[in-house]
Structures are given as C-alpha cells and as structure tokens.
Amino acid sequence: MDRYNFNLIEEKWQKSWEINHSYKTQIDKNKKKFYVLEMFPYPSGKIHMGHVRNYTIGDVLARYKLMQGFNVLHPMGWDSFGMPAENAAKQNNLDPKIWTEKNIEIMKKQLKRLGLSIDWDREISTCSPDYYKHQQKFFLELYDKGLVYRKENYVNWDPVDQTVLANEQVIDGKGWRSGALVERKKLNQWFFNISQFSDELLDGLDNLDKWPRKVKIMQQNWIGKSFGCEINFKLENCEKFKEIKIFTTRPDTLFGCSFLALSVDHPVAELFKDDPSFQKFKDNCTKTGTTEEALAQAEKLGFKTSLVAKNPFDETIKVPVFFANFVLMDYGFGAIFGSAGHDQRDLDFARKYKLDVLPVVKPFGHKGDLVIENEAYTGPGVIYNSKFLDGLKAPEESVLEAIKIIENKKLGKKKINFRLKDWGISRQRYWGCPIPIAYDDQNNIVKVPEKMLPVTLPEKINLNTKGNPLDHQKEWVEIKINEKKCKLETDTLDTFVDSSWYFLRFCSPQNKNYGYDIDDIKYWMPVDQYIGGVEHAILHLLYSRFFMQALNYKDDVFNLTEPFDGLFTQGMVCHETYKDENNNWLSPDEIFSKDGKEFFSIENNKKVQVGPSESMSKSKKNTIDPEKIINNYGADAVRLFIMSDSPPEKDVQWSTEGMEGSYKFIQKLWLLHKKFMEKIDNNEIGNFDEEITKYTNSLILKITNNLENFRYNVIIANFYEMYNFFNKKLNSPISKEILINNYYNILKLLNPFIPHFTSECFEEFSKFKKIDNSWPEVNKELLKNETVNLVIQINGKKREILSVKKDISENELLKMVNSNEKIKNFIINKKIMKKIFVPNKIINLIVK
C-alpha cells in the first residue's frame, strides 16, 4: 500500500488554492460575515514556531467558519516599519526597503507552505506609501480634531536605540526592545491625546465579553481610574504661592495629615531655584528611576522647606512642606498630603523625618487609641480623632462625607484621576511613517496639504549618522507649502501607530482615496476573532481601541468603537535549553543523545547541560526552524502537532517525539482512508451498523463544541479516539451506505486541521458522493437513543457501572440494580435509608 506523500499532495493543493484564489472574499450581503484576524507579523526574515501556532489557530477557525457558511475574511499583511530593518541595513549597508521586501517575499512563501486559508489579494504592508499615505491623512484629521498635539516634555530616552519610548514601552526602567536603561530627557514631542478617552476605554472593557479577563484587568489597571478629591492647603508664610493643591483618595484622613510633599518639578520649586542644597536634592531625584540600584533601593527622600501649610479642616493645625522624591509631577497635581497613620509610604517618610503621626481610623471594635509603630493601618474601620467625621465607617461612608464637607466649605472638590498618560508618538528614526507636518521660518506648525501626501521617505540614504538620519537629509527636509519655505518634521511615527488601524485597511485594501471605505467597514467590522500573543495586552490592543475612538470622535463615522469583538491570546512555544561547558548556549541542532537522557555536543562530544524549557528565542538558541520541520514532516503534521499537546492559551512544549507522533498519525489516517475506499469500492454487503452513525454523530457534537471554545488539543485527542474506533470497526463487514455517510462526515471534521490531507481524500471520495463544503449537522434524534454508562454508588462509593438506554427511569434502574450480583453483596441485610438518582448520571444508595 502506498505511503502518504505529503510533498506531492501538499504542493498540489497549495497550487490549486493559489491559482483558483480559493480564499478570496468579497462582500456578500446575503451571508453573515466572520472576520478572523491574527496579529500580523514583523517581517524579520523567517517565520518562527510562534507564528506557526498563531496562524494555525486562526486558520482552523477560519476554515471551520467557512464550512459553517459564513463569509469569512481572513487576511494577512506585514507590520513592516521598525528598527530591525534599520539596524540590519546599517550593518550590511543596505536599503531597509530592500531588506524588508526580501524578507516579506521569503516569509510569504513560508506562510503559504503552511496551507493557510488567507485571502492574499488583500495583502498590505505598512511601509508602503499606499498604506502610510492614509495614516498621514488620519494624523492630520486627528490634529484637526484636537487629538494630536506637540509639547515639550520629559521623555523616556533609550540611549541604545537613540529614540524616545512611550510609557508602555518601558519595562522595569528599560527599553522594551533594546533592554537599555531608559534616561529622562526633555524634548519636543508629538502626542496622541489618548487620555481624553480614559473613561471610554475603561467602560468599553465591560462589553468585551469575549476577551480574556486577564487582559481586561491589565488594561483596567493601566488606565488606573481613582476616585478622590482635590484639596487646597493654604500656605502660612509665602507671598508668591498662597495655596498648594493636592490630590487624595483618602480625604477622610485629613485630620491625620502630617506633612505636604511636592514633586521637585512642582511650580513651587521656583522659590528654591537659587538654593544649592535644593538643586543637589533635585539632581538626586532625577537620577532615581534611571539606575537599577536606585530602583531597587527606592528610598524615600525629602527636602524640608521653610514653608508651613495649614490643615484646611482646622487651620490651627500646621504641617511642614517637603519636596519628596516619590511624588510625581505628572500624576494628580504633583503634590500630596501625608497621611502617616494610614499609608505605609507616608509613615516611613514621617518616621524618617520625625514628624507627628496621628491615627484617625481604627479597626471596628478596637478599644482606646490605636498605636501605630512601624506599620500603617490601611484596613477598614471607624473614624476617630476627627471631630465632625468621628464615628463614620471608613472608607465607604467617610470618604464621601469628607468630600461633601470639603465641597461645602469650598476647600476643594471631587476629582477623578487617571494613571493613563498621553501616547508619545515621535520617534527619532528613519524607517517609520513620516509625520505630515512642517515648520515655517517662525517655527509655526504647518500641515502638509492633502494633495502633497504622502510624504514619502527619502530612499538610499546614509543611515550611519548620529541621531536621526532624516535630520541629515537637507534636500528632503526643505519643502515649499503654499509658496512658503518650510522644513519637514524629521521625527517619524511610532510603529504602533501603523498597527492601530491595519484591521480597517484589510476591509478596503485597494481604496486609493481613503484608508477605508465606510460600506466595507460597516459590513466587515468588528473583527470577530482576533488572535495573538498576550504581550500586546496593553500596547497594541489599547492603541487600537483608542484609534477607533479617535476616528469616530465628533463624526461618529461608523458607529463602532471596539475593533475586536473576540480576543484570544495564545501561549508560547517552548523548548529545552542547552549549554556547553563554557556556559554558551547550544541549539538543538548542535547536540545529540544516545538514550534521550544525556546530551552531548556534536562538536566536541562533551556533555551538555540541559536547562529548563523556555519560550523559543534566538538568544537562547532553543529555536526550531518551522521550514525544516515542514520539509521533514509536512504542513498538516506540523499543524496537527502544534495544536495537539496543550490548550492553545497555554505554553506548549516542542518535542521531536510528539512531532513524529503526529506524522505517524497522518500516515495511519491515510491507511484508514485507503481501508474505507477499498471497502466502499468492493461494494460489500454488511451490517447496517447503527452504532457507527451514533458514534460519528456524537463526535460531531463534541468537536463542534470544542471548536467553539478553542479546545483544539481535546479535538486532536478526539481524532485519535476516532481512529482507534474505526480502525477496529472496519475489520467487520459494514454496509456501503453507512461507510459513505460516516466517512464523509469524518473527513469534514478533519478538514480545518489537516486541509491538504482531507482535500486529497475528498477528491478520491468524490466518486461515491458529491462533496459540499458544509460543516456536518448534529442529528438530535440520534442523540436521544444513545446508551449511557450509569454509575451505581453505595454510600457514595462507586461499585458498578451499568450500560443502560438513555433516560432510563429510577424504577427501571432499581430493578437492574437489585438483580445485580455485585451490588447484592453490598445491600444484603441492609436497610436503604436514602436514594439519590440523577438521570443518565448516577444512582447513590445510602444503606445501613
């Protein structure tokens, strides 16, 4: 019997899909749409296993939805602006454009080799002027709407990448890409006013039922809404500043105020600008947060001023005013009051500078005074030491009451603060979308007129310059706008802008006039299922949500603010790590093993240390090249394996044994296919075996449910069971009709997972039955007649399992139980105290 030749067969079908544009999609208003989108890749040069997993998950869904009769949009494109191209180009003296285009060509071939059901006619690339022209238009539109602005601000400066980073792109004080310690620098920057939509972005999360809870919580925390109050403290001894405004979430602890603390960037700092000791303190503060040590220590430091503030609730109470390193200018008002008894940080500060600590909340039922030593009391309780607030329940009653009093006395007002800050989008890099802005000779902002768009990047320039290469492009920078000489902005846009609207572009990829077409958007959007890594939980997903808000702002153009209806975050692909005796990483290709336990270096035969399994990364050399694996085992086998071992949302371990297992399984399925074909061909006369039809029917139900819930690993197990079932069954004669009808459905169930294989099988099978590409329906009548295994328990312990017809009555079952030999031993001479009967599940007899 012939082996399954995946090389020939996969090539054959991929060619057929390509020539026929099998997955080309168009608007069809008679059909329900389904938009499947996986996060598009950066064209780094080669696809990796993470891509294989991501795109296979999406492809299974897309093919399943297609079979269900949906009009499926499943596009692919390239997130093709960004630093790696620029760095690679610098190193090899290339043009980033050429480098990128070459990579796209290679990766496109690799993706096609996976057999994905993608509408390649919709392919887009963000570095193409056809794409970023529209982005520039959006930029100007948002500028007109007041959602883009320029200001001088402290920025996160990445000294390695020589660029500015957004807050979201700084991780543990380091650049998300370079890993370099981020510095603080003051620069003129462009910003998107994302904080204007804080409330919308927060509230919108509530309606995203098909998003992982984890991601929603992360975004909630990032937006960081806090409810509190602004309070004005009068200064006793200052001519220039009469008041200091602070923000607090605990106005109810105001009587326990020990001090005021200000950021060193607070306007009041002006009073001390000539004081060298203050300057020294300030310099110390700016360093904090930029060195690793300082981050670890995080010592609370203060600079005591001569200023004295009066407690607004009782002006006879006076508190000192400090500058403190832990108060940030860009949150609240850059000033706080210290509630030493009820905030650990404030208490530490008060102890350090020997300030009074007056507790004003004590736990319920606590008698006498609360003694605060070195731990602040932050729990709930009763207010005391607070005159008119005494006796209130903290915090739920007391906070609201305190705010009411503060507002009545005009000492301040209710205030909601957000942690979310505006999105800095300027990057001092060449390989990004040019910002369509110029400056006249007065340095006024001049919009580049629409007819001059796109502002394209200059090509074939010298990238080995200090700082931004565009700064050195004198000819490119000089332009004329309305006969006026202007200079182009040389910063380019953060590449996260590119990916903030690409899902819209996929709906109208060829529209020359605008980024999208309203009719297309109204039909295709939102994305029904978005699939990608959880590492984008905040950055990309929040930015995309903002972009939808921004495009709809004021105009409400498509009456839709959430781009992604369903979100699925898949786990990573992991592999063991290996190190040689010098602690150098070794790749799986560089080692060998005789027994699968000990590993040796191929180079020098020396023993290799086996490390824990970690997510595949080039730096640890624990990667497996998908291309090689596909060449060895075929795309279907790889798809099957990457779906089989773990739930898609969890990390999966790459294992050669597992990969081989999937390959063998395909071969076994092929033999099963041949067996089916042979039996049908022989036209044998056999049993009209109803059990087979029932089995297939319940399999359809199981797999359909599992598909709806992304339980792909369980489906693969279902397939193995199916194989075992039929492999046995086919040893006995079965009627042709049963064989044809059941095998037809089995092939359909397999199709989303191993499409090349099933296409080939279908082609052979089509001589027996006309093929349609529909998902099999569950026959509900058949489900009713099933037999079920019913568990018999005595005193809660399983004693017997009876196979009975579905929906058996309690009495009927009891008859069987009483006559069962095994059970008799347990109930003989005993009294049945209680019977618990759960239909089709269990009967539990309590005996004594």
Partner RNA sequence: GCCCUCGUGGUGAAAUUGGUAGACACAAAGGACUUAAAAUCCUUGCCGCUUGCGGAGUGCCAGUUCGAGUCUGGCCGAGGGCACCA
Residue 325 or 499 with smaller CB distance to RNA: 325
Which position among 183, 275, 590, 645 is part of the footprint of RNA (CB under 7 A)? 645
Q: Should residue 661 be labelled a site residue for RNA when binding is judged by CB under 7 A?
A: yes
Residue type, 516: Y
Residue 45 or 224 with smaller CB distance to RNA: 224
Q: Should residue 533 be labelled a site residue for RNA when binding is judged by CB under 7 A?
A: no
Hey, which residues does 793 pair with through a beta bridge?
A: 798, 844
How far apart are the C-alpha atoms of 323 and 244, rounded to whole Å? Answer: 13
Q: Should residue 247 be labelled a site residue for RNA when binding is judged by CB under 7 A?
A: yes
**Parallel, antiparallel, or unpaired: how do β-strands 573-579 and 585-586 relate?**
antiparallel
Closest alpha carbon to 421 in 156, 144, 79: 156
Query: Taking the complex as a whole, how short is the minimal distance between the CB of residue 846 and RNA, in angstroms?
Result: 6
Cβ atoms < 10 Å from Cβ of 602: 12
Instruction: Show the site string, 488-527: x = touches RNA by CB under 7 A, - = not.
Output: ----------------------------------------
Contact 244, 262 (CB under 8 A): yes
Q: Should residue 267 be labelled a site residue for RNA when binding is judged by CB under 7 A?
A: no
Query: Taking the complex as a whole, how short is the minimal distance between the CB of residue 186 and RNA, in angstroms?
Result: 18
Query: Taking the complex as a whole, how short is the minimal distance between the CB of residue 721 and RNA, in angstroms?
Result: 5
Helix axes 712-729, 656-681, angle to 10 degrees: 40
Residue 662 or 745 with smaller CB distance to RNA: 662
How far apart are the C-alpha atoms of 349 and 329, rounded to whole Å? Answer: 18
Per-residue burial over 401-419, b if 16 or more Cβ lie within 10 Å, else e, is: bbbebbeeeebbeebebbe
Instruction: Show the site string, 815-834: x = touches RNA by CB under 7 A, - = not.
Output: -------x-----------x
How far apart are the C-alpha atoms of 713 and 729, rounded to whole Å? Answer: 25
Contact 529, 35 (CB under 8 A): yes
Q: How far is CA 640 from CA 6, 303, 664, 676, in A?
A: 14, 64, 11, 22
Query: Taking the complex as a whole, how short is the minimal distance between the CB of residue 285 and RNA, in angstroms?
Result: 8
Residue 68 or 706 with smaller CB distance to RNA: 706
On the question of a cis peptide bond just before residue 251, with omega within 30 degrees of 0, the verdict is no
Site for RNA in 162-201 (CB under 7 A): 167, 171
| Three-state DSSP class for residue 375 | coil
Find the distance separating the first CA and the last CA of the chain, reported in whole Å. Answer: 63
Residue 286 or 735 with smaller CB distance to RNA: 286
Residue 83 or 257 with smaller CB distance to RNA: 257
Instruction: Show the site string, 21-50: x = touches RNA by CB under 7 A, - = not.
Output: ------------------------------
Q: What's 178-218 look like in SS3? A: CCCECEEEEEEEEEECHHHHHHHHHHHHHHCCECCHHHHHH
Total residues at interface with RNA (CB under 7 A): 83
Q: Should residue 328 be labelled a site residue for RNA when binding is judged by CB under 7 A?
A: yes
Which position among 98, 445, 518, 717 is part of the footprint of RNA (CB under 7 A)? 717
The token pair that represents 55 in the structure block? 């795109």
Query: Taking the complex as a whole, how short is the minimal distance between the CB of residue 833 and RNA, in angstroms?
Result: 9
Q: Should residue 647 be labelled a site residue for RNA when binding is judged by CB under 7 A?
A: yes
Which position among 32, 185, 664, 769 is part of the footprint of RNA (CB under 7 A)? 664
Query: Taking the complex as a whole, how short is the minimal distance between the CB of residue 78 and RNA, in angstroms?
Result: 26
Residue 94 or 714 with smaller CB distance to RNA: 714
Segment near RNA (CB under 7 A); pick from 23-31, 449-457, 483-491, 714-722: 714-722
Instruction: Show the site string, 127-166: x = touches RNA by CB under 7 A, - = not.
Output: ----------------------------------------
Which position among 64, 211, 222, 568 is part of the footprint of RNA (CB under 7 A)? 222
Which position among 705, 773, 787, 818 is part of the footprint of RNA (CB under 7 A)? 705
How far apart are the C-alpha atoms of 413 and 224, rounded to whole Å? Answer: 20
Q: Should residue 730 be labelled a site residue for RNA when binding is judged by CB under 7 A?
A: no
Residue 100 or 577 with smaller CB distance to RNA: 577
Cβ atoms < 10 Å from Cβ of 706: 17
Instruction: Show the site string, 297-316: x = touches RNA by CB under 7 A, - = not.
Output: -x-x----------------
Segment near RNA (CB under 7 A); pick from 122-130, 540-548, 676-684, 791-799: 791-799
Which position among 162, 193, 511, 646 is part of the footprint of RNA (CB under 7 A)? 646
Residue 12 or 675 with smaller CB distance to RNA: 675
Query: Taking the complex as a whole, how short is the minimal distance between the CB of residue 508 and RNA, in angstroms?
Result: 34
Residue 700 or 747 with smaller CB distance to RNA: 700
Instruction: Show the site string, 415-434: x = touches RNA by CB under 7 A, - = not.
Output: --x-x---------------
Query: Taking the complex as a whole, how short is the minimal distance between the CB of residue 422 and RNA, in angstroms?
Result: 13
Closest alpha carbon to 496 in 567, 544, 551: 544
How far apart are the C-alpha atoms of 837 and 804, rounded to whole Å? Answer: 14
Which position among 584, 688, 720, 815 is part of the footprint of RNA (CB under 7 A)? 720
Which position among 510, 724, 787, 818 is part of the footprint of RNA (CB under 7 A)? 724
Place of tokens 């565009």: 470
Instruction: Show the site string, 579-598: x = touches RNA by CB under 7 A, - = not.
Output: ----------------xx--
Q: Should residue 238 be labelled a site residue for RNA when binding is judged by CB under 7 A?
A: no
- Determine which helix (DSSP H) or strand (DSSP E) holds 724, and give its type and residue range: helix 712-729
Answer positive or negative: Cα dihedral of 686, 687, 688, 694.
negative
**Parallel, antiparallel, or unpaired: how do β-strands 573-579 and 423-424 relate?**
unpaired
Q: How far is CA 186 from CA 151, 168, 317, 348, 379, in A?
A: 10, 18, 39, 31, 40
Contact 53, 648 (CB under 8 A): yes
Query: Taking the complex as a whole, how short is the minimal distance between the CB of residue 401 and RNA, in angstroms?
Result: 16
Hey, which residues does 339 pair with through a beta bridge?
A: 257
Which position among 32, 186, 214, 769 is part of the footprint of RNA (CB under 7 A)? 214
Site for RNA in 341-360 (CB under 7 A): 343-345
Beta carbons within 8 Å of 337's beta carbon, 6+ residues apart: 231, 233, 246, 248, 254, 257, 259, 260, 261, 319
Closest alpha carbon to 372 in 395, 343, 399: 343
Residue type, 718: N
Segment near RNA (CB under 7 A); pick from 273-281, 302-310, 506-514, 705-713: 705-713
Which position among 713, 735, 741, 779 is part of the footprint of RNA (CB under 7 A)? 713
Residue 822 or 830 with smaller CB distance to RNA: 822
Which position among 186, 304, 352, 798 is part of the footprint of RNA (CB under 7 A)? 798
Contact 557, 145 (CB under 8 A): no
Closest alpha carbon to 77 in 18, 118, 26: 118
Q: Should residue 663 be labelled a site residue for RNA when binding is judged by CB under 7 A?
A: no
Place of tokens 């809660």: 796
